[in-house]
Structure 1
Amino acid sequence: MPSLTQDLKRLATGPAAQQDANAHQAYRDAVMYLLQTDPFYGRVLSQMTVEIAPGHSPLALRPTATDWRLRLAPAALGRQDWTGTQWVAMLRHTVLHLLWQHPQRYAEALKTPAQAGLVRWATDAAVNDYLTDLPTTAITSRRLQQLIGQPVQRQQDSAVYLRQLRDWRAKHPASARSLPTGGPANRGDQVARRSAEAGNDPSDLDGHATWRAADATAAATREQWRRQLFQRTADSLTAKQRGTLPGAMRAALTPTVAEQPLDWRRLLKRGLGQVPAGRQPAFGRFNRRQPARMELPGQIVTTWQKISVFVDESGSMGNREISYLLGQLATLLAVYPAQVTVYPFDTVVDPQRRFSLQRRPQHLMRTGGGGTRFQAVFDALPRLLQGAAGQLVIILTDGYGERQLQPTLPVPVIWLLTSPVAAFSVKNAPGTVVSLTTDPQWQAIRGQKS
């Protein structure tokens, strides 16, 4: 690919006054090449707005109130010793971050220094396993395995890698160090150390720091733009072109969307007051089988008596928004008495911080942070519910976590998402999935500043 390589050399050696124009030219030529050889990536990039701005990273995704912009930093791009194939690979890399919703999923986690580096490495490994011809310092699952000295499976979701990195760091604090961008490095990894000293750390190849600006206020608008971008791209591809994409990419391009949105309050009322949860004796009712025997009790249908609410502390929900949702649930208790227990969770469920919801609005102060692991909720259910009848589980979350779940109990589950249903990371989630994005009161609260 001599022309693209020459574009990069021209950018690196040309006068400073021409850097912006040369960066534009390098980008246009790369997109034209992808349109001819790999239409999926080429068509996504051709629809995105490109910004030229200074920065430490050659590439970055920057959020706005309506979309995600691709930012190019000419000086930083010129400093990279990339070939044309590596330049194209990094553009593909950036598209996959957007396809798998990494910028929005991890915007909050990147604001925590202890999590930021792990997020960078986990998301890069999840993306790079699907690419070839990457820069030599790029992070893959194989590279993670070398760094942490533990088996790492290929082509897993970023949440899987993040959980493994966090577990490794917790178990080996003496071996874990921080590179300038916060990623883990083994003391024997000379390549990572040299790249860090040279200012060419793998996590800096496409800056993730801009993701932190993805506040929750405009998340729904950006997600709608993102879905439309990839939907238009998918519609423009032929069946043969779609067939050449890896299965994980095809799945992300064809999300399952509810045909008719559900009213979450009606759903909760149904769960609290109308769904039968077995029968119980009642001496105020005749026994239908033996009505002449007054000493025999009849039966009445019982409804849900115990509700477990799991609140995702790692996502985009703030204290005010969680308090609103719990307050709405509390108002229903006046009509449908039930025992409601609230459990905060992120990658684990902490029973020590549970509390009972009363018939008045309550405030939950979030203390968690980092990633989300829905499986932790299902793993905790056998211990928390102990097989009792009349149980209902409600999960309040932004919907960004792992892709696959393993149910542990046959208990009804209601997912209340603060993002669109199409943005829900779990495929074939057990239970009923409802989005709050159509709730006017919810949107009004999200629009207020905390």
Structure 2
Amino acid sequence: METFFDKQVKRLYEKADSIINNFFNAKRKNSHAKITIPQEFKDDFFSLVNKVNLSLMEDKDNFYGYFLLQMARDIRFDISSPTAVNFKGAKYVIYFNPVIFLNLNLKQMESTIKHEILHILSLHLIRAREFKAAYSTLAINLAMNIVVNTYLDHLPPYSVTLEWVNLTYSLDLLPFKPFEYYVEEIQAALDLLEADEDEDAAPDRAQDETIETEYHPEKTHDLWADSRDMDDKTLQEFTEKFIADAQKGSIPNYLASMISSLKNSKSELPWNLYLKRLMGTVESNQKKTMTRRNRRQPERLDIRGQLRSHKAKILVALDISGSISDQEFNQAVKEVLDIVRNYNQEITLIECDSEIRRVYKVRSVKDIKDRINIRGGTRFTPVFEYANQHKVNLLIYFTDGKGEEKLLTIPKGYKTLWVISGQGDKLSLKDAYGAVKRLKKIELKDDSLTMSDVKREGFSMNDQESLN
């Protein structure tokens, strides 16, 4: 028998369909027309959401219900999932796409709300930014969805689960593993499936981008970009406040574990893993292989496929104006060389302050020269001008972070990794165009040490902490 809740869902879906039809009719007359959501529909829709929230609060996992009470709510027809979340105006905001959300039953509605809250507890809004330069959006989204959906029942049929990813990408991923494990394995599988550069691009979607009616895993977390203006420390503090206000009783063990990890988390991708991932994603030449079929004509066994050879130009820049010691930098370059040596890369080292002072090739530790003794001001732009002109594939920039606020030259076609060292606190640029890491402050010895003085057990690039 159809319940009152079911009737309300059906009635709201018909209204949502009418809103979409009105939008398309208006757009035929005016290409700049925008979708209009009547206030009456919003009131009715959020009345339904309140019933879902009440059901959550009556459940043993009432933590989710109390957490949802603190969140602002809005409707967006342009998100490609039933729900989405971001941080805006000192609050977490949960968004609903009525067309997708209203196709779910009550338990599935609860699960998709829990799904968004688990992303928050896992600090995925923060971590997605950190991983963006090293991994594809699809790999990040799939890995993060595996992590949170592992704890949920009554998922929508299209949900990204461990079983679905294993089947889709011919993997054998294990359950209850950390996010880093999943994203690394998934990215490796995506790299193997990546089409040749001259193959046809993905077809344009006929549907208007302001209306989404289907789930698309590669776009489910697009709204997280709206939270980029909030620094990681502040976002984590707000998250902990939301958690404190949502804990009204006992909570399941998995939630307690997530909350404990959040409070102790540095939300930082390890240096070695990050640089190794960058090395695997930079543009590279291709080589023929008999172990992979040609993507255009897979039935032709006589035509060889292609694999990327992972050869690239790497630019290592050193800001000689700041407080980075010789001891720090020499050890850092040694670790960079150790990481990239298996890739047979071409490495160029640049010494710079307000301008480029010296450029030379480096193949081994023996090639590293004593640093020029100049302490001028700092400008990052000259290095990016050089990188653009020489078409590098990866720029690793060691600096104390004190330079201009805006680059005059935007990086084109390469990855950028900033390493804030010495006594630096943060990067002065408002837009870094890449990942930013910071080394923990250590007690340094005499800065006049040469390469022969640096011991292997000295300062380690693995010894990091997240930027505040």
* TM-score, normalization by structure 1: 0.55
Q: Is 1:157 matched with 2:178?
A: yes
| Structure with greater proportional helix content | 1
Contact 2:85 2:92 in 1 (8 A): yes
Q: Is 1:107 matched with 2:108?
A: no
How many residues of Structure 1 are paired with residues of Structure 2 in the alignment? 305
The separation in 1 between residues aligned to 2:331 and 2:320, in whole angstroms, is 10
SS in 2 for 1:242: coil
The match for 1:70 among 75, 94, 110 is: 94
SS in 2 for 1:131: coil
SS in 2 for 1:152: coil
Equivalent pairs: percent with the same residue?
14
**Residue type matched to 2:330 in 1?**
Q
The separation in 1 between residues aligned to 2:152 and 2:117, in whole angstroms, is 11
The separation in 2 between residues aligned to 1:76 and 1:125, in whole angstroms, is 20
Query: Could you say which residue in structure 1 is the equivalent of 2:224?
Result: 211
**Residue type matched to 2:62 in 1?**
P
The separation in 1 between residues aligned to 2:217 and 2:49, in whole angstroms, is 21
**C-alpha deviation, 1:103, in angstroms:** 1.9
Query: Could you say which residue in structure 2 is the equivalent of 1:281?
Result: none
SS in 2 for 1:170: helix
Which structure 2 segments of 5+ residues have no match?
Answer: 20-37, 206-211, 279-315, 350-367, 385-394, 396-413, 418-433, 438-451
The match for 1:350 among 340, 346, 351 is: 340
User: Compared with structure 1, are the counterparts of its residues 66 and 139 closer, same or farther at alpha carbon in structure 2 (3 Å cutoff)?
Assistant: same
Query: Could you say which residue in structure 2 is the equivalent of 1:12?
Result: 13
**C-alpha deviation, 1:223, in angstroms:** 2.3
Contact 1:50 1:71 in 2 (8 A): yes
Contact 1:97 1:123 in 2 (8 A): yes
**Residue type matched to 2:222 in 1?**
A
Query: Could you say which residue in structure 2 is the equivalent of 1:341?
Result: 332
**C-alpha deviation, 1:416, in angstroms:** 3.3
**C-alpha deviation, 1:390, in angstroms:** 4.6
**Residue type matched to 2:44 in 1?**
N
SS in 1 for 2:117: helix
**Residue type matched to 2:114 in 1?**
R
The separation in 1 between residues aligned to 2:321 and 2:52, in whole angstroms, is 52
Query: Could you say which residue in structure 1 is the equivalent of 2:43?
Result: 21
The match for 1:52 among 68, 75, 78 is: 75
Query: Could you say which residue in structure 1 is the equivalent of 2:415?
Result: 368
User: Compared with structure 1, are the counterparts of its residues 391 and 177 closer, same or farther at alpha carbon in structure 2 (3 Å cutoff)?
Assistant: farther
The separation in 2 between residues aligned to 1:69 and 1:93, in whole angstroms, is 14
**Residue type matched to 1:226 in 2?**
T
The separation in 2 between residues aligned to 1:337 and 1:149, in whole angstroms, is 43
Query: Could you say which residue in structure 1 is the equivalent of 2:116?
Result: 94
SS in 2 for 1:71: strand
SS in 2 for 1:229: helix
Contact 2:86 2:93 in 1 (8 A): yes
The match for 1:251 among 260, 268, 276 is: 260
Query: Could you say which residue in structure 1 is the equivalent of 2:421?
Result: none
Query: Could you say which residue in structure 1 is the equivalent of 2:54?
Result: 32
The match for 2:85 among 56, 61, 75 is: 61
* TM-score, normalization by structure 2: 0.53
Residue deviations 1:234-279 (CA, integer Å, cap 9, x gap): xx343xx22454564353355379xxxxxxxxxxxxxxxxxxxxxx
User: Compared with structure 1, are the counterparts of its residues 22 and 369 closer, same or farther at alpha carbon in structure 2 (3 Å cutoff)?
Assistant: farther
Residue deviations 1:259-304 (CA, integer Å, cap 9, x gap): xxxxxxxxxxxxxxxxxxxxxxxxxxxxxxxxxxxxxxxxxxxxxx
The separation in 2 between residues aligned to 1:326 and 1:32, in whole angstroms, is 60
User: Compared with structure 1, are the counterparts of its residues 416 and 109 closer, same or farther at alpha carbon in structure 2 (3 Å cutoff)?
Assistant: closer
Residue deviations 1:127-175 (CA, integer Å, cap 9, x gap): 1111010111111011111011121111323322211111112234469
User: Compared with structure 1, are the counterparts of its residues 119 and 253 closer, same or farther at alpha carbon in structure 2 (3 Å cutoff)?
Assistant: closer
**C-alpha deviation, 1:211, in angstroms:** 1.2
The separation in 1 between residues aligned to 2:232 and 2:73, in whole angstroms, is 20
The separation in 2 between residues aligned to 1:343 and 1:224, in whole angstroms, is 36
Residue deviations 1:409-446 (CA, integer Å, cap 9, x gap): xxxx3x2321xxxxxxxxxxxxxxxxxx3xxxxxxxxx
SS in 2 for 1:341: helix
The separation in 2 between residues aligned to 1:232 and 1:181, in whole angstroms, is 45
**C-alpha deviation, 1:51, in angstroms:** 2.2
User: Compared with structure 1, are the counterparts of its residues 76 and 83 closer, same or farther at alpha carbon in structure 2 (3 Å cutoff)?
Assistant: closer
